[in-house]
Structure 1
């Protein structure tokens, strides 16, 4: 059978299985086993357990549960509320500064947690009621937090960047650095739109928060500074040649747990157990998807589907930017229905040879892919962040949250365009810190 036709059958079968309601990992295993059994016989099924567990035999994977523990320990405290309050006190004189405070708090919390839903929940619980009380439109209040939460998968440390690095055998350190400037770019675009929207809705100065004394501004810093020092310490250890990403993640997780216990009195064993339990659940889910995706990739390669698709696209006489546009559309559609980790693991084996053959940098492409996944987090029908915000403020309709999020989607699309025009936005910092890739 023609491999391209077989690839179409695999795509249809995968969509049907995933939409049946089974978990992503189990769905990938079912499709892989079915096609291997049908077209390659029982011999290939004997290799599945070896591939499944072999995919997890990677030291870099240890960084995933460690970074998840790091984020979970922070999310279990008042760190998000303190970040929000600290920025509110320092930006109180800025017209419309409250929405800027929320977006800044989202960016900082994202850098500590690496989780979009956790960022939305931690900052939204404080920020949304406060913005609504001060007269901000519901769409701006809800949309800014939903969009700010998506920064968790772009600003390092990012679990999705780790997954991409493992799936494509790309330097995780470079990927983390590549997300810094685009992450700050997105924060800036979000803030500009929010301030414009606030100004357009009325008197922006009326929406400013109350006044604070200098003593009140400084008194909250001791609660925030330790977490910021941990972020800087993790980055310094990683890029100063002191430790590997996995070792750095372990130290960061331990430090975050200690800070949560000392500053936020997270002493009770039941609370620590909840942090470890939730972190274990999320880690196992991600690792199971990684293992299943390894089997799925083996199936695609074994049936010559991956090679045939790459060869077919290579023969197309189209401009490489037209090709990149098609890839972005594919990623957007996939992100509407699947979580970022699943999209990366399923798409990377097929897309990586295509984008490298077309002359695109895989580090740059990781950032473009991640921003596409961010758009999926605030777009229906799955749009996880939309439902998190609706859970925080149930009296704000999903329609209002979606409407408020759409301008931020436009900001993300603009960021992708800017990255296409100026690829160095993603590659400059990794090249400066780690030298140009060979």
Structure 2
């Protein structure tokens, strides 16, 4: 059978299996095992356990559970509420300042937790009721938090970037740095839209708020600064040559636990058990998907599907930006239905050779891919952040949340366009700090 036709059949079968309701990891194993048995015989099943566990034989994978523990220890405390309150006190007199403080809190909490749903939950619980009380429309209140929560997979430390680095054998340190400026760009675009929409509304209720004294502004900072210091310390250790990403993640996780215990009194064994239990569940889920995706990639390569698609793309006489546009559409659609980790692990083996052949930078492409995944997090039918916000504010209709997030989706599209016009936004910082690649 022609490998391209076989690839189309594999794609359809994968979609059907995943839509059946089975977990992503199990679905990938079912599809991989089925096609390997059909085309290579029963003996191919003997290789699956070796490939499955071999994919996990990677020291860099240790950083995933460590960063997850780091985020879980922060998410289990009032750090999100304190961060929100600190920014709200400092930005209270700025037009649209409440939305801006929420977005800023989302950006900082995302950098600390690395999780979009956790960011939405932590900041949304405080921010959404307060914005609605001040007279902000429900769509603005819910949409801004849903969009701000997506920053968790772009701003370092990002588990999504770690997964991409492992899947493509790309430097995780460079990927973290590549997400910094685009992440700040998105935050700036989100805030600019918030300022514009507030100014356009002309609602004086949105321009006035309670005044805080300087004492009240400074008194909340001691509870927030230690976490920010840990983030800066983690980045310094990683890029100062002091420790590897895995070692840095372990130290960061330990320090976050210590601060959670010391500042937020998270000392009860029951509370610590919840942090470790939830971290273990999420880590196992991600690692299982990584292992299953390794088997899936082996199946694609064994049946010569990956190579054939890359060769076919290489023979197309199209402008490389047309090709990149098609890749973006594919990623956008995939992000509507699958979580970011699954999309990266399934698509990276196929897309990376195409991207490199077309002359695009794989570090730059990682940022483009991640922003596409961010759009998927606030897009139906599987937009996870939409459902997190719906759980926080069940009286706000899902349609209202979606419509409120659409302007921020437009901001993400603008960010992708800017990155295409100015790729240095993603590549300059890694090259400046870690040196240009050969």
Q: Is the 8 A contact 1:178 1:426 kept in 2?
A: yes
Offset of 1:92 from its aligned partner? 1.4
Q: Partner residue of 1:349?
A: 349
How far does residue 428 in structure 1 lie from its aligned partner after superposition? 0.4
Residue of structure 2 in register with 1:115 after alignment: 115
Where 2:224 maps in the other structure, the secondary structure is helix
Matched, 1:298 2:263: no
Distance in 2, Cα, partners of 1:189 & 1:209: 24
Contact (CA 8 Å) 2:114, 2:159: kept in 1 or not?
A: yes
User: In the alignment, what sits opposite 2:358?
Assistant: 358
Equivalent-residue separation in structure 1 for 2:74 and 2:169 (angstroms): 30
Alignment partner, residue 84 of structure 1: 84
What residue number does 1:277 align with? 277
Q: How is 1:50-129 mapped onto 2 (pairs within 5 angstroms)?
A: 50-129=50-129
Q: Which residue of 2 aligns with 1:248?
A: 248
Match of 1:407 in 2: 407
2:328 alignment counterpart: 328
Contact residue 135 and residue 205 of structure 2 kept, 8 A? no
For 1:319, the equivalent position in structure 2 comes to: 319
SS at match of 1:380: coil
Alignment pair present for 1:148 and 2:148? yes
Aligned 8 A contact 2:134 2:205 in 1: no
Secondary structure class of the residue paired with 1:22:
coil
Confirm or deny that 1:337 pairs with 2:337: yes
Corresponding position: 1:167 with 2:167:
yes
Query: 1:218 is matched with which residue?
Result: 218
Deviation at 1:368, TM superposition (A): 0.1
Distance in 1, matches of 2:268 and 2:370, equals 37
The 8 Å contact of residues 95 and 204 in structure 1, kept in 2 or not, is answered as no
Moved more, 197-206 or 73-82: 197-206
Contact kept? 1:95, 1:205, Cα under 8 Å? no
Q: Give, in angstroms, the shift of residue 95 of structure 1.
A: 1.5
Provide the C-alpha distance between the structure 2 equivalents of 1:293 and 1:76, rounded to a whole number of angstroms.
Answer: 31
Give the alignment's TM-score, normalised by structure 1.
0.99
How many residue pairs were aligned?
438
Tell me the equivalent position of 1:8.
8
Question: How far is the alpha carbon of 1:206 from its aligned partner?
Answer: 4.0
Give the structure 2 partner of residue 427 of structure 1: 427
1:207 offset after TM fit, Å? Answer: 3.6
CA–CA distance in 2 between the matches of 1:127 and 1:178?
29
Q: Give the aligned partner of residue 232 of structure 2.
A: 232
8 A contact 2:25–2:289 mirrored in 1: yes
Q: Secondary structure at the match of 2:66?
A: helix
Give the whole-Å Cα distance in 1 for the aligned partners of 2:106 and 2:59. Answer: 30
Normalization by structure 2: what TM-score? 0.99
2:388 is aligned to: 388
Cα distance in 2, alignment partners of residues 92 and 313 from structure 1:
53
- Cα displacement (A) at 1:304: 0.3
Structure 2 distance, partners of 1:95, 1:431, is 37
Contact 1:111 1:156 survives alignment (8 Å): yes
- In structure 2, C-alpha distance between the alignment counterparts of 1:130 and 1:2, rounded to whole Å: 59
Q: How far apart are 1:44 and its partner, in Å?
A: 1.5
> Any conservation in 2 of the 1:6–1:305 contact (CA below 8 Å)?
yes
Rounded to whole Å, the distance in 2 between the matches of 1:309 and 1:242 is 41
Unaligned runs of 5+ in 2: none
**2:372 corresponds to which residue?**
372
SS for the counterpart of 1:395 is coil
2:234–2:249 CA contact under 8 A, matched in 1: yes
Q: Give the whole-Å Cα distance in 2 for the aligned partners of 1:209 and 1:368.
A: 38
Contact 2:93 2:207 in 1 (8 A): no
8 A Cα contact 2:336 2:383, kept in partner:
yes
Deviation string, structure 1 residues 65-116 (Cα, Å, up to 9, x no partner) = 0000000000000000000000011111211211100000000000000000
1:185-211 alpha-carbon deviations (Å, 9 max, x no partner): 000000011111122222356443310
* Deviant stretches of 4+, over 6 Å: none
Distance 1:209 1:417 in 2: 36
**RMSD after superposition:** 0.7
Q: Is the 8 A contact 1:140 1:197 kept in 2?
A: no
